[in-house]
Amino acid sequence: MNFRLAEGDCAPSHFVLPSEPVATARNNPDPNPNDRERLVSGVPVGDDSSFELKLRPQRLAEFIGQNKVKENLAVAIEAARSRGEAMDHVLLYGPPGLGKTTLANIIANELGVHFQPTAAPLLQIKGDLTAIITNMQDKQVLFIDEIHRLQPVLEELLYSALEDYKLDIIIGQGPSARTHTLEVKPFTFVGATTRAGLISSPLRSRFGIVLRLEFYTPTDLKVIVERSAEILGVEVDDAGAEEIAGRSRGTPRIANRLLRRVRDYAQVRGAGKIDEPTAKAALGMLEVDQYGFDEVDRRLLLTIIEKYQGGPVGVNTLAAVLAEEPDAIEEIYEPFLMQAGFLNRTPRGRVATQLAYDYFKITPTRRQSSLF
Enumerate the active-site residues: 100-101, 145, 194, 253
321, amino acid identity:
V
Which helix (H) or strand (E) segment is 344 a member of? strand 343-346
Pairing of strands 90-93, 188-193: parallel
**Three-state DSSP state, 230:** helix
Q: Are 52 and 170 in contact (CB under 8 A)?
A: no
How many whole angstroms from its chain centre is CA 180?
37
Alpha-carbon span 132 to 121, nearest angstrom: 15
96, amino acid identity:
P
Which helix (H) or strand (E) segment is 240 a member of? helix 238-246
In this structure, what are the phi and psi dihedrals at residue 367, rounded to the nearest 5 degrees?
A: -65, -40
Question: What DSSP letter does each residue of 274-318 carry, written as one string?
Answer: E-HHHHHHHHHHTT--TTS--HHHHHHHHIIIIISTT--B-HHHH
